[in-house]
Structure 1
Amino acid sequence: MQNPTADSVTAAAPDWLQALLAGERAALARAITAVENETPEARAVLQGIRGRLGRALVVGFTGAPGAGKSTLVSAYVDVLRRRDLTVGVVAVDPSSPLTGGAILGDRIRMTRHSGDAGVFIRSLASRGHLGGLSRTAARVIDVFDASGRDVVVVETVGTGQSEVEVAEIADVRVVVNAPGLGDDVQAIKAGILEIADVLVINKADLPFAERSARQLAAMSAQRSGQPVPVLQTSASSGQGVEELADAIAAIGRRKRPDPRARTRRLLQTLALDAVRRRLAGLPDAAVDALADDVLSGALDTETALRRMMDLLQEDPSR
């Protein structure tokens, strides 16, 4: 069977693809749904937006649960709108254990933007993905980018050090912390703190905010290269959010938006998913035999791994 050309694939959605590229909300919603759910229209969307990427600044917000990321993102969006910038928000929520869908907590907390045509918020389910990002997040970002949004904000679920994955798809990374970190800085600095372009102590009206900011500043000073700015914000009152927006914009001007990084991460994720599916299809008896050999000491884990990969190559259709 002959592979479809880009033109033939794009022609599969001629009635609304141009509307997406013009930034129309209904077409944007339809395109995001298509790529998130991997419907037959998704291929047409992804083909149609090629060559339209790389304009939007992608800003990632991550950090520990309870730091007030959602409220801070909402306040940041307020600042962007006052500066007449259009915004797309990808809020990666925990997955429902029953349906696998997003719980929508972040979108509920941002309801005040629902009537603003310049803001489009989409909650995505993390679906158990270790890095806190659903496997479709990069493609949703691309759709926002192609639709003409000036800034795309990605807020992750805040699951800990595995959140470093946000570094792969965001041009500017903001790590949000709560006051009173204390010794916890040492415990987590090897993870998400080290990916930060901006470090934020949110809830700066609470005790120990100043001390926590000093701790983060001291930690960043030990890093090689340019020190990371440490800012204090109070998202509920708006304190420091303008300064945060200024810092993000300044870093964004220095760092060129890189759609290649998002595509690279997408390809890596798809490859890993394909390998997982093929591993799941291996005969239980063959895998159990390898496990028994490792447990008995007959094989080391590296040799067992090579033999498992050999099993995959023996049946490439799997």
Structure 2
Amino acid sequence: MTGPHAALSSEFGALVDGVLAGNRRALARLITRVENRVPGADAAIAALYPHTGRAAIVGITGAPGTGKSTVVNALTRVFRARGQTVGIVAVDPTSPFSGGAVLGDRIRMSDHAGDAGVFIRSMASRGSLGGLSATTNDVTRILDAAGFDLVLIETVGAGQSEVDIARTAYTTIVVDAPGLGDDVQAIKAGILEIADILVVNKADRPGVENTVRALRAMLDLGHRMRAVPHHGQRLIQDDTGASPEYDFWQVPILKTVAAENEGLDAVADAIAAHGEHLRESGQRQERERQRVEAELIDRLREVLLARLLAAQTPAALADVVDRMAARTLDPGSAVAELLAIRD
């Protein structure tokens, strides 16, 4: 095979061509192979990579019970009415025993099942922390390369581990709802800090104004950083000593009743306005660098760990674990031993 797909097998070359041509069957098949990490899938992603960067990537996160899936479903209806195509990545939690997932978001979003302008993919988190699947970035790139105007990523909704979405999406929507308990929970572990748009769903419930006031008070406590470090760290450190830059985007708090399709036009308008803000302020490029830097860290960690474990025999690893369990070897010394580090 010659040309841009020279490194691909005939199967993956055909799938890549199909994705670029908008073939939904090829799209679904390639995503399945990427999720299952079939040999050759990485080469397919590499072939699609130059065709990415055009879609608006929007993350939707929040605690369980806030109605994230219903918001995504109703928001998709608004975008389709405006003539925009939508790819949806719905990440569901994985059973720690079977490794499977309920994938219930497909049930909630069945309204769009026959719409050629909507593609819905449910993914199991497969133990990945941060509310996303380990292959979410690659699946998002496939949908981007396939030409979708927007890619909506709905996280697991596990609560306070959802901040990774801010390093994946250009615009992050945090969904809250009245009556879920202590309003201070919204600010813990950075959940409120990552919001570009706050949506108070189920706004027909009692207590909605109290929730809005509490969120506004929290937003008024300070300004948000322009960049979200990867687990509090940056791979490329700034040696200039410059003061951190802040993002002065005024986070809107929007009330919706997604089950009744109320208030979603304002959310769609806010997404468009935030995208324009990113372009005018130069943050679109900053967030793209932030995305790929965080992904590079994750991929390096995964590959280096795999290489380390492959270099050890099962017996050697079992011996280290046995000695740690017997308290004759501490965790730090165990790491140094496996890495062959000597003082």
TM-score, normalised on structure 1?
0.87
Residue equivalent to 1:63: 62
**Contact 1:181 1:212 (8 Å CA) reproduced:** no
**Contact 2:78 2:265 (8 Å CA) reproduced:** yes
Output one character per residue of 1:158-214: Cα deviation in whole Å (capped at 9) or x when no partner: 101110011110100000011135633256433311111011110000101111011
Matches of 1:143 and 1:64 in 2, distance apart?
27
Q: Does 1:130 align with 2:129?
A: yes
Mark the CA change 1:107 to 1:261 in structure 2 (over 3 Å): closer, same or farther. Answer: farther
Mark the CA change 1:58 to 1:221 in structure 2 (over 3 Å): closer, same or farther. Answer: same
**Contact 2:140 2:151 (8 Å CA) reproduced:** yes
Letter in 1 for 2:253: V
Residue equivalent to 1:266: 295
Q: Does 1:314 align with 2:343?
A: no
Q: Which ranges in structure 2 are unaligned for 5 or more consecutive residues? A: 224-247, 279-283
Output one character per residue of 1:30-57: Cα deviation in whole Å (capped at 9) or x when no partner: 1111111111231231121121111001
Residue equivalent to 2:255: 232
Residue equivalent to 2:6: 8
Q: Does 1:284 align with 2:332?
A: no
Q: Percent identity?
A: 49
Residue equivalent to 1:221: 220
1:264 positional shift: 3.2
Q: Secondary structure at the match of 2:148?
A: coil
- Aligned positions of 1:73-84 closer than 5 A: 73-84=72-83
Mark the CA change 1:186 to 1:20 in structure 2 (over 3 Å): closer, same or farther. Answer: closer
Greater Cα shift, 203-212 or 189-198: 189-198
Output one character per residue of 1:68-126: Cα deviation in whole Å (capped at 9) or x when no partner: 00001000000110111111000001114554233110111000100000000000001
Letter in 1 for 2:141: D
- Aligned positions of 1:26-175 closer than 5 A: 26-97=25-96, 99-175=98-174
The counterpart of 2:274, out of the listed 247, 251, 261, is 251
Letter in 2 for 1:309: V
Matches of 1:54 and 1:173 in 2, distance apart?
17
**Contact 1:180 1:211 (8 Å CA) reproduced:** no
Matches of 1:98 and 1:310 in 2, distance apart?
31
Q: Which ranges in structure 1 are unaligned for 5 or more consecutive residues? A: none
Q: Which aligned runs of 4 or more in structure 1 are off by greater than 6 angstroms?
A: none
1:285 positional shift: 2.5
**Contact 1:64 1:177 (8 Å CA) reproduced:** yes
Q: How many residues align?
A: 304
Matches of 2:220 and 2:145 in 1, distance apart?
38
Matches of 1:216 and 1:253 in 2, distance apart?
24
Output one character per residue of 1:3-50: Cα deviation in whole Å (capped at 9) or x when no partner: x99743235433332221122211111111111111123123112112
Mark the CA change 1:93 to 1:186 in structure 2 (over 3 Å): closer, same or farther. Answer: closer
Matches of 1:114 and 1:41 in 2, distance apart?
30
Matches of 1:130 and 1:247 in 2, distance apart?
28
Letter in 1 for 2:295: L
**Contact 1:139 1:266 (8 Å CA) reproduced:** no
Matches of 1:52 and 1:178 in 2, distance apart?
38
Residue equivalent to 2:226: none
1:289 positional shift: 3.5
Letter in 2 for 1:313: L
